[in-house]
Amino acid sequence: DVKVTQSSRYLVKRTGEKVFLECVQDMDHENMFWYRQDPGLGLRLIYFSYDVKMKEKGDIPEGYSVSREKKERFSLILESASTNQTSMYLCATSYSAGGPNEQFFGPGTRLTVL
Amino acid sequence: AQSVAQPEDQVNVAEGNPLTVKCTYSVSGNPYLFWYVQYPNRGLQFLLKYITGDNLVKGSYGFEAEFNKSQTSFHLKKPSALVSDSALYFCAVRRNYGGATNKLIFGTGTLLAVQP
* B103 contacts on A by Cβ (under 8 Å): 33, 45, 48, 58
Residue A88 near residue A110 (C-beta atoms within 8 A):
yes
* B9 contacts on A by Cβ (under 8 Å): 40
Name which of A31, A40, A105 is nearest B43 (Cβ-Cβ).
A105
pLDDT (0 to 100) of residue A100 = 82
Count contacts between A and B (CB, < 8 Å).
64
Indicate yes or no: CB of B41 within 8 angstroms of CB of A95: no
Interface test with B, best of A54, A101, A109, A110 (most B CBs within 10 A): A101
pLDDT (0 to 100) of residue B33 = 95
Find residue A54's DSSP bridge partners.
A51
pLDDT (0 to 100) of residue A79 = 94
Continuous segment of H or E residues that includes residue B115? strand B110-115
Our CA-based measurement puts residue A22 at a distance from the nearest CA of chain B, in whole angstroms, of 15
- List, as one string, the DSSP characters of chain A: ---EEES-SEEEE-TT--EEEEEEESS--SEEEEEEEETTTEEEEEEEEEETTEEEE-S--TTEEEEEEETTEEEEEESS--GGG-EEEEEEEE--SSS----EE---EEEEE-
Contacting A residues, span 44-83, partner chain B, CB-CB under 8 Å: 44-45, 48, 50, 58
- Show the low-confidence residues of chain A (pLDDT under 70): 1-2
Model pLDDT for residues B56-67, shown as the tens digit of each residue: 999 999 999 999
Model pLDDT for residues B4-52, shown as the tens digit of each residue: 999 999 999 999 999 999 999 998 888 999 999 999 878 899 999 999 8
